[in-house]
């Protein structure tokens, strides 16, 4: 995988255009960073429901809520530390997306200061299952896995930080959940996904 840093994202004209097969079908999806963020907020509710389910399981396991206002250095200080940790994982988050495109892929990294986001794009075609996996992987590593660890471990001075970090990380991936939902709804079994500009396309692989 070859990573190319492209700097500040200003318009779709900066993004690479893929060479698409004739049978490529454009995803029904938002086509600007602003509209993507707006559409992705729909997945905030199911994320909170899943988090609440993990919290309930943790409560049943320990007989007490595993996050407390009096923990560690004070809850506000714990929140600041969690936010700093999230900032430190922004680049690794995108790298996990990038490596999943494959060894031969050329991946471009952009930072949108206007929308306070970082993202990678590649015109490398990938199978449906791989696209779903690469979309979910960073959220599993930095969000859901730490949340499960928090739920299982007994309360300590670090529990609040781990909980807040995992909560913020799961919500950071709302745009990725949108990609997964679009792939599940729109891509037939055995099809391929490919980016071109801001949009995804799917097509049947005839090889």
In eight-state DSSP terms, residue 141 is I
Closest CA to 14 of 27, 33, 29: 33
In eight-state DSSP terms, residue 142 is I
- Other beta carbons within 10 angstroms of residue 102's beta carbon come to 15
> Using 50, 70 and 90 to split pLDDT, how confident is the model at 35?
confident
Closest CA to 96 of 186, 35, 176, 31: 176
pLDDT higher than 70, residue 108:
yes
In whole angstroms, give the CA distance from residue 117 to residue 104: 26
pLDDT higher than 80, residue 106:
yes
Tokens linked to 116: 């306070």
In whole angstroms, give the CA distance from residue 197 to residue 176: 17
Task: Report percent pLDDT > 70 for the chain.
Answer: 97
Judge whether 66 and 150 are in contact, CB under 8 Å.
yes
pLDDT higher than 70, residue 72:
no
**For the packed helices 159-172 and 128-139, what is the interaxial angle rounded to 10 degrees?**
150
Supply the mean pLDDT for the chain: 91
For the entire predicted model, the pTM comes to: 0.89
């Amino acid at each position: 995988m070859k990573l190319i840093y492209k700097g500040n994202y200003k318009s779709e004209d900066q993004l690479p255009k893929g060479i698409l097969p004739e049978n490529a079908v454009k995803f029904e999806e938002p086509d600007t960073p602003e509209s993507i963020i707006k559409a992705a907020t729909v997945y905030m509710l199911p994320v909170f429901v899943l988090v609440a389910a993990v919290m309930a399981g943790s409560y049943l396991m320990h007989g007490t809520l595993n996050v407390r206002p009096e923990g560690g250095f004070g809850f506000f200080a714990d929140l600041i530390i969690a936010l700093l940790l999230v900032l430190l994982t922004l680049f690794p988050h995108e790298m996990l997306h990038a490596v999943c495109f494959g060894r031969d892929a050329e991946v471009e990294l952009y930072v949108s200061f206007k929308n306070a986001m970082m993202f990678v794009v590649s015109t490398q075609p990938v199978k449906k299952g791989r696209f779903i996996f690469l979309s979910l992987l960073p959220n599993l590593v930095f969000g859901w896995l730490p949340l499960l660890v928090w739920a299982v471990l007994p309360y300590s001075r670090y529990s609040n930080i781990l909980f807040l970090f995992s909560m913020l990380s799961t919500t950071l991936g709302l745009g990725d959940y949108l990609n997964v939902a679009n792939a599940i709804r729109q891509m037939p079994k055995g099809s391929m996904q490919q980016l071109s500009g801001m949009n995804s396309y799917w097509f049947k692989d005839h090889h």
